[in-house]
Structure 1
């Protein structure tokens, strides 16, 4: 049986409330003749669908409930339609499973360094730590991101509007902001790291946007996808992939030209500039 740790009732209650409010009741909740005054599903609707008393679920959201069992967590996760990342987050907040102990180090993981050095010239690569600090980059990665090595891409994204606007089209910025914060929350949950906690406090003070997104309790690990970036050489349509280190705490993010776009022709020019 996996070891348990102490339940974080305050964070668990906030997470459940946010996920409940974000879930549309259409097709999920029982029919109701009363007019809704709050967004999302009601507590009693969640409790009914999850097969538990309203009082029990309300206590969980109000940070006064007991430590829920696996069966209760499974029922809540199913009712709230949580993703795999959100389910892992739920279990950690509820004190299930051993917390991850991530050594705080700025020495680039050896495996990631080998992968970074082996990248093709037309593939950009950056090694990030859990908070978004750039620990290493190849030439193309540094050229695209404007020499970010030694800086923190999350912090700069939320505090340097000119840099953000020069890097990203307007319609890409809101989903990118949400992805950064959701990934950050997923990366830090369960770890006892005073430096990471201090980073979150600093970001909440520095950016109202970050603070609002952090309070939404969205959780999603960034793994792969597509991204549009701006560069003096022209628009870049990129395919992205994330490779974690053997030990958690660092990862290599790769960017290459999306197929059938002019980006493939632009990347060599950027690397040579």
Structure 2
């Protein structure tokens, strides 16, 4: 019998959840008889994908040995997966080199050019994150955007952890359901892309214990890609801030990126300038201990 791995279990759970979202009418099947569960039956997915029912059942149970790319593509088409969902499916099946055996370090190295970018972006809030959403450096505007990042225990300086469990950070979200559901979907995609990052087990386990909201969104098996979005915040210092949220790669293979909030309108631009002026006595950037290269120390 094929050994069931955590990745295979995740693959099966993802397929079951997605199967439940597709109606017979969407794939051209008649709505015949009463259904005990929503969505397609396993035998219907197998028929439409051109595979055996037993084999597809094994796939959902995490027991199917080495499914081919062609078969996975057929299942993805049958379940009407979006491009990012198909990529997630392939990652769970171990199909890309990016999900290889070499784990990135929990924290990245912050280089002089990274700090220069953070400084140049002021007064726009900007921060550097790892693949698992750890915050390793930020400019002054980001540091004080949600409160004071430097006042947070370094162990807790993780964007996902703070937004789901920290009241001060969550209170800044005008549309928490929109942001947090999207964040859970991004995290699911990222965890599949970098499964060997040692940060994931503790982060996901801790969130499941502390945040029922995270559990609800995570168990939806939604997969979200990194895309530019309009986001609305409420700053305790300067009020409403409507921003364009962007995630820009610093190192794609390691998942390291810089996130930037640019103003969506003139009023928000003025408020971001006001925020930076209010905290202007603080250093222009901040970083965790131990992440700076020698060129920045001393």
| TM-score bracket for the superposition, by shorter chain length | 0.7 to 0.9
Q: Which of 260, 267, 274 is equivalent to 1:262? A: 267
* Secondary structure in structure 1 of the residue aligned to 2:190: helix
Change (3 A) 1:113 1:103: farther
* Secondary structure in structure 2 of the residue aligned to 1:8: helix
Structure 2, unaligned runs of 5 or more: 279-298
Between the aligned partners of 2:7 and 2:165, the Cα distance in structure 1 is 30
Contact 2:125–2:262, Cα closer than 8 Å, also in 1: yes
Indicate the residue corresponding to 1:155 in structure 2. 161
- Normalised by the length of structure 1, the TM-score is 0.87
* Secondary structure in structure 2 of the residue aligned to 1:123: coil
- Normalised by the length of structure 2, the TM-score is 0.80
Between the aligned partners of 1:77 and 1:91, the Cα distance in structure 2 is 9
Contact 1:20–1:42, Cα closer than 8 Å, also in 2: yes
Give the Å deviation of 1:76. 1.0
Q: Which of 194, 209, 228 is equivalent to 1:224? A: 228
Indicate the residue corresponding to 1:187 in structure 2. 190
**Does 1:70 pair with 2:73?**
no
> Counterparts in 2 of 1:171-250, with a 5 A limit?
172-189=175-192, 190-232=194-236, 233-246=238-251, 247-250=253-256
Structure 1, unaligned runs of 5 or more: 1-5
> Counterparts in 2 of 1:1-273, with a 5 A limit?
8-98=7-97, 99-100=99-100, 101-110=102-111, 111-119=113-121, 121-149=122-150, 150=154, 151-161=157-167, 163-164=169-170, 166-169=171-174, 172-189=175-192, 190-232=194-236, 233-246=238-251, 247-259=253-265, 261-273=266-278
Aligned residues: 263
Contact 1:7–1:94, Cα closer than 8 Å, also in 2: no
List per-residue Cα deviations over 1:202-244 (Å, max 9, x = no partner).
2211222222322332222323111000113221110111111
Between the aligned partners of 2:243 and 2:58, the Cα distance in structure 1 is 46
Between the aligned partners of 1:243 and 1:163, the Cα distance in structure 2 is 22
Between the aligned partners of 1:37 and 1:112, the Cα distance in structure 2 is 55
C-alpha RMSD of matched pairs (Å): 2.2
Give the Å deviation of 1:162. 5.1
Contact 1:235–1:263, Cα closer than 8 Å, also in 2: yes
Between the aligned partners of 1:76 and 1:234, the Cα distance in structure 2 is 48
Contact 1:29–1:45, Cα closer than 8 Å, also in 2: no
